[in-house]
């Protein structure tokens, strides 16, 4: 009986030890998540997104408030776009439902704070992670009555925001342009910047970048295309920069704030042609030069 009790005590100790090691291991794994590669400047991960050299799978985490989730048709068109221009064929879309922040509008800093609090998908092994927040409030400074609204913005190498509340309101003003039309065009345009377009981490094969004045009155490249009809050719509300974009700069700024008015005008011009806009030949040539399809 004494030996039997000793055996039970030994087994109990083993289970306790194993349980303790398991908890320690899980805690260690949580601490081992390296978020830094996903917190870089827009365009700096262009080659990783386009090619399968370092990552052959893409996980897209879509964070949204209930009622502001993009349509399945939008996501289908979006993933088709990604497969068309990248070598990523294994693409997984995950949804993260969030409570409303109850904000009247969002600053970029608030968008980033929400990402820091809620994002769960980060690069892992051969899987590259993208985070997209579908906001239930407009961008700060929007004026719907004046047509000055922003429908999307990119601010990091794997992060963007889509102002879904604004998109819904814009679509309600048109009888021919749907929410899906605006969602798809906005997603594709902003992801074009994550591809490194134009000259934002993916070098131009031929010069086709538009220019605008910076805060010093100097003409500098604004990372958009001058080819007629190209997806990356948009009139934009740009955060003014003091010079050419530097992909090594990790400071917080938006590389592109996409104008809702210009988006509607472009889609209106495409009515009857499936309301779709594709990349121009020069942008496609750039992507191929940086590992794209």
pLDDT digits (tens, 9 = 90+) for 103-160: 999 999 999 999 999 999 999 999 999 999 999 999 998 888 777 888 999 999 999 9
- pTM score of the predicted model: 0.81
Is 243 a residue whose pLDDT tops 80? no
Q: Which of 57-61, 174-178, 212-216, 256-260 has the lowest mean pLDDT?
A: 256-260
Is 34 a residue whose pLDDT tops 90? yes
Ordered domains of the chain (ranges, CATH): 33-289 (3.40.390.10)
Interval 268-287 mean pLDDT: 78
For tokens 């910076």, what's the residue? 214
Enter the tokens of residue 282: 């020069």
Structure confidence at residue 119 (pLDDT): 98
Highest mean pLDDT among 3-7, 50-54, 169-173, 209-213: 50-54
The mean pLDDT of the chain is 84
Give the pLDDT band of residue 245 (cuts 50, 70, 90). Answer: very low
276 vs 62, residue with greater confidence: 62
pLDDT digits (tens, 9 = 90+) for 202-229: 999 999 999 888 778 888 888 999 998 8
Closest CA to 228 of 192, 270, 167: 270
Q: Which of 3-12, 33-42, 250-259, 270-279 has the lowest mean pLDDT?
A: 3-12
Structure confidence at residue 1 (pLDDT): 54
Structure confidence at residue 26 (pLDDT): 52
pLDDT digits (tens, 9 = 90+) for 158-182: 999 999 999 999 999 888 889 999 9
Give the pLDDT band of residue 247 (cuts 50, 70, 90). Answer: very low
Structure confidence at residue 6 (pLDDT): 54
Give the pLDDT band of residue 261 (cuts 50, 70, 90). Answer: low
CA angle 73, 74, 79 (to 5 degrees): 100
% pLDDT > 70, the chain: 77
Handedness of CA 62, 68, 73, 74 (dihedral sign): negative
Structure confidence at residue 21 (pLDDT): 55
pLDDT digits (tens, 9 = 90+) for 64-90: 999 999 999 999 999 999 999 999 999
% pLDDT > 90, the chain: 61
Structure confidence at residue 100 (pLDDT): 95
């Amino acid at each position: 009986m004494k030996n039997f009790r000793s055996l039970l005590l030994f087994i109990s100790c083993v289970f306790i030890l194993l349980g303790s090691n398991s908890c320690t291991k899980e805690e260690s794994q949580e601490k081992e998540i390296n978020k830094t590669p996903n917190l870089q400047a827009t365009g700096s991960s262009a080659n990783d997104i386009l090619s399968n050299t370092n990552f052959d799978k893409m996980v897209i985490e879509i964070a949204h408030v209930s009622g502001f989730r993009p349509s399945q048709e939008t996501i289908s068109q979006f993933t088709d776009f990604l497969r068309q221009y990248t070598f990523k064929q294994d693409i997984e879309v995950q949804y993260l439902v969030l409570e409303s922040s109850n904000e009247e509008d969002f600053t970029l800093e608030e968008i980033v704070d929400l990402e820091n609090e809620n994002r769960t998908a980060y690069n892992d092994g051969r899987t590259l992670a993208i985070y997209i927040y579908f906001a239930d409030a407009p961008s700060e400074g929007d004026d719907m009555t004046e047509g000055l609204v922003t429908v999307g913005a990119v601010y990091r190498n794997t992060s963007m925001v889509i102002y879904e509340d604004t998109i819904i309101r814009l679509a309600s003003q048109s009888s021919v342009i749907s929410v899906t039309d605006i969602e798809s065009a906005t997603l594709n345009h902003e992801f074009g910047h994550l591809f490194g377009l134009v000259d934002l981490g993916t070098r131009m094969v031929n010069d086709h970048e538009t220019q605008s004045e910076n805060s010093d009155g100097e003409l500098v490249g604004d990372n958009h295309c001058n080819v007629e009809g190209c997806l990356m050719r948009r009139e934009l509300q740009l955060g003014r920069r003091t010079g050419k974009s530097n992909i090594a700069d990790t400071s917080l700024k938006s590389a592109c704030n996409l104008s809702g008015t210009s988006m509607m005008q472009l889609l209106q011009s495409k009515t009857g042609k499936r309301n779709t806009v594709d990349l121009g030949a020069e942008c496609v040539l750039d992507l191929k030069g940086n590992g794209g399809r």
